Structure formats: structure tokens, C-alpha cells
A and B are shown apart, each in its own frame.
Chain A
Amino acid sequence: MFRLQGSKVLAVDMTGDAVKAKNGSMVAYDGQMAFKKMSGGGEGIRGMVTRRLTGEQMTVMEVKGHGTCWFADRASEINLVSLQGDKLYVESSNLLATDAALRTGTSFTGLRGASQGNGLFTTTVEGHGQAAIMSDGAAVVLRVSPQYPLTVDPGAYVAHQGNLRQSLQSGVTFRTLMGEGGGEAFQIRFEGDGLVYVQPSERNTIAGDV
């Protein structure tokens, strides 16, 4: 029921069911819709407190009704992800909408998060259904298999799903310390089996400066 209209607009056909979407991202709808803000991402008191503490706040609204609703946010490119019981890791600022049936939560990312410039925690989406994630420019989906690990620039990383282990790789050498670094001092390495979404643009990160 999620479909893309162009690459920047998400259309959702609803028949009495609900979706969770980023606050204020509705651009148009027909039929009957009700919008309700969900405090703390709709995860109850515990989820709300966790989000406050971890800085992974997201303001989510629940959209419910009959008809078609269109979502878009600052002309970002939108990618559809379908989940069959697996887990999607995405930054809360890159998450546009999810099926109401999907559970969202927070998870600790360690040093990798800090190198990406968006904190030590990330948002997880879990269950069966569809999610829409946003990227700056059209994202590419790269497959990681046990034989082929993948290394990504932290600033270009958007999301990943599947059974992946990640580690922070540093290419800091004597030259970096002298201020002669290549601008690629940190990378995230993914090993295992899964998919990684990469955008053709880099956020400002600490890693990008050295």
C-alpha cells in the first residue's frame, strides 16, 4: 500500500488502517484522514524516556483513515524498504513513514554513531511491513555477503538491514596527525549478510574533517 509517486513523494492508500509518519510531512490527501501526534514515537512511557535520553527523538504522527495520503519532506529522495521480520537500522531524521504494525525502538551504535555525526544511538524498525526512508539524493542499495564485506563513508551511510556486524575502521596515520589526511580517516565496515543504503552526499562528520 506504500507506493512512490516520482522519487520524492510517497503515496499511501489507506482503508481504515493507520501509518506512522514524521510530524508535518503530509502534503496532500483525499478522503477522510485524522492526524494525531504520538508522544515519544508511540512506544509508551519507556520508549519516550529512552528517546529523550538517547537524543533519538522523533516526532511521529499517526495517520488514520480512508483514501490516499501523500507524504514528502523537503524534496528528499524516498526509498521503500519492505521488512519480513528483519530489522532496519536508520537514523530517526531519515525515517519518513512506517506501517503502524512495525515496531520502532532505539539501539546503541557505539563509536560508529559518533563518527557519523548523529550521536551514539540509532532507531530500529522491526516486524512485517513497509517503511519509507529518506536520503539526500537517490540512495543506492549495496548487498553485503560473507565473502564481500563493505566499507562505507560514515557521512554517506543512511540505513542498513539484515544480519550485519559493523565496526569502525580508522585510517588515521602519521600523515593525518600532520594535517595531511585524505579526508577519509574513518569508515564503517559491514560484515555478514544484508543490505546497506548509501546516499550520494556526505553529512558533515568529524571523520570528514580529518
Chain B
Amino acid sequence: MAFREINSKMIEASVVPGQRLFSQRGAMLAYKGDVSFTPNMTGGQGGVMSMIGRRVANEDTPLMTVEGSGTVLFGHGGHHIQVINLAGDTLYVEADRLLAFEGTLQQGTMFLGSQGGVMGMVRGQISGQGLFTTTLKGHGSVAVMAHGGVFEVPITPQRPVHVDPQAYVAHHGDVRNKLSTALGWRDMVGRGSGEAFQLELSGSGAVYVQASEEKL
């Protein structure tokens, strides 16, 4: 595991030769050893084509490549950091929430409309995700930022989980998500409970939820 949590807002990553890390540009706090930081024009992995893909999808957070040997401390904006370990499955996360991830992971973008069609696009708009989201696949660990603490809710086929779109951070596993509306006549007359839209996640995996309804 490449990332170690020092406290809830700071992580330490060990860099060894031949293993790259990607991190958000400017998120390095301190480092020991011989480590180089190169801005990553393409904004992550893949060639120019995936760069264009990310630009178009507006998922092109400035990233940098971290190489060398030593240890690096990462943190950003006083946000809470959650380290997620992936073992072959796919993590879906917003690009601006990504703090750092291992080079062994495969990065990609996903069109939300491909999951649920028009409702998928509506869902992206409501949860502030836009039309696209970033995917990370493979074996390795990811550091994700959130406002307030993060907790993990397991999803099993028998128990779908509903999440407030504003508090949603990321999810992994074989999970289908759709926007469920609980709009009733009460919402129409201004008597809503403030929970009219929810993300319904079903399948098997886990969802990460932050202790706040504020975006980053």
C-alpha cells in the first residue's frame, strides 16, 4: 500500500523507483529523498487521445507525475482525505476530488448518460457531477478528498443504499446507480423535507459519503 494516513487531513506516500504516482498539482506539502514532480500535460494516463477526452469531458484536473525514491506528504485545502484500496474493481469519482493515486491504476472517463440514458445525465447535473465522471481501475490505492469525515456504506444486492447527491463522494464495485425522486405534492407547495432527490445505488460494492452537504 503506497499511502499511509498521518492524520485525517494528510497522507504520506512512499515513492520507489519504477513506480509512478499521480497527484493533483500543488498538493505536495513536503518530501524527503530524491523525488521529482513533473506537470502532466495530458492530465493523467493514456496518450493524447485520452487527454482530449478529458478536456471535452471537463474532467481534466491538473495532475503531476511523482517519481523517484523517497516519501512525499500530500494534503490540500484542509480537506479530509480517505484512502481507498482497489483490488481489481473500478472506482467512480469526480476528478476534482482526486488527491493522488498510484500509477498502477488505469484512469478513464465515463459518460453518465451511458448508465441510465437521459436520467443519468439529469443525475449528473443534480449531484454536480456534470455529464462525465472519472474512473480508476486495477490494483492500487487512491486518496480522495471530502469535506468533513468520510464513511463507507456497504452495498449488497438485498440492501440498496440511498445517498444525498450533495454528500456523495465516490463508489466502487459492481454498482448501478440511478436518481430516485421522492417528489410529492408537499414539495410542490414548498413543504418538502429537503430530501427530494436521492441517488439509489444497488448491486454489490461500497459507497463513500461525506459528513456534509457542501461541495469541495
Count class of interface residues, chain A? 20 to 34
- B-facing residues in A154-169 (Cβ within 8 Å): none
Which of chain B's residues have a CB closer than 8 A to the CB of A67?
159
* Residue contacts A-B, CB under 8 angstroms, 11 given: A8-B149, A24-B194, A27-B209, A27-B210, A28-B163, A29-B161, A35-B182, A36-B193, A61-B195, A70-B153, A72-B212
Contact present for A28 and B212 (CB under 8 Å): no
- The prevalent SS among residues of B at the interface is loop
- A15-27 interface code vs B (CB 8 A; 1 in, 0 out): 0000000011111
Contact present for B149 and A28 (CB under 8 Å): no
Contact present for B193 and A28 (CB under 8 Å): no
Binding site for B on A (CB under 8 A): 5-9, 23-31, 33-37, 39, 59, 61, 67, 70, 72-75
Contact present for B213 and A74 (CB under 8 Å): yes
Which of chain A's residues have a CB closer than 8 A to the CB of B153?
28, 30, 70
- B166-188 interface code vs A (CB 8 A; 1 in, 0 out): 01000000000000001000100
Partner of B194, one of A5, A39, A61: A61
* The 4 nearest A-B residue pairs measured at CB: A75-B148, A24-B194, A8-B211, A72-B211
Which of chain A's residues have a CB closer than 8 A to the CB of B161?
28-30
Considering only CB atoms, which chain A residue lies closest to B212 in the complex? A75
Interface: B147 (CB within 8 A): yes
Which of chain A's residues have a CB closer than 8 A to the CB of B5?
none
- The prevalent SS among residues of A at the interface is strand
Partner of A35, one of B148, B195, B207, B214: B195
Which of chain A's residues have a CB closer than 8 A to the CB of B186?
36-37
Partner of A8, one of B148, B163, B164, B195: B148
A48–B31 Cα distance when bound, in Å, is 58
Q: How far is the CB of B169 from chain A (nearest CB, A)?
A: 10
A61–B193 Cα distance when bound, in Å, is 6
Contact present for A72 and B167 (CB under 8 Å): yes
Knowing A8-B148, A74-B212, say if A28 contacts B207 (CB, 8 Å): yes
Contact present for A28 and B167 (CB under 8 Å): yes
A61–B186 Cα distance when bound, in Å, is 12
Which of chain A's residues have a CB closer than 8 A to the CB of B192?
37
A190–B159 Cα distance when bound, in Å, is 48
Knowing A9-B211, A27-B209, A28-B207, say if A35 contacts B193 (CB, 8 Å): yes
Contact present for A26 and B191 (CB under 8 Å): no
Contact present for B147 and A75 (CB under 8 Å): yes
Which of chain A's residues have a CB closer than 8 A to the CB of B195?
24, 26, 35, 61
Interface: B54 (CB within 8 A): no
Q: How far is the CB of A79 from chain B (nearest CB, A)?
A: 14
Contact present for A70 and B213 (CB under 8 Å): no
Interface: B97 (CB within 8 A): no
Which of chain A's residues have a CB closer than 8 A to the CB of B214?
74-75
A70–B194 Cα distance when bound, in Å, is 15
A67–B148 Cα distance when bound, in Å, is 24
Most A CB within 10 A of own CB, among B193, B194, B209: B193
Considering only CB atoms, which chain B residue lies closest to A60 in the complex? B193
Which of chain A's residues have a CB closer than 8 A to the CB of B212?
8, 72-75
Interface: B130 (CB within 8 A): no
Q: How far is the CB of A44 from chain B (nearest CB, A)?
A: 16
Knowing A6-B149, A36-B186, A74-B214, say if A27 contacts B167 (CB, 8 Å): yes
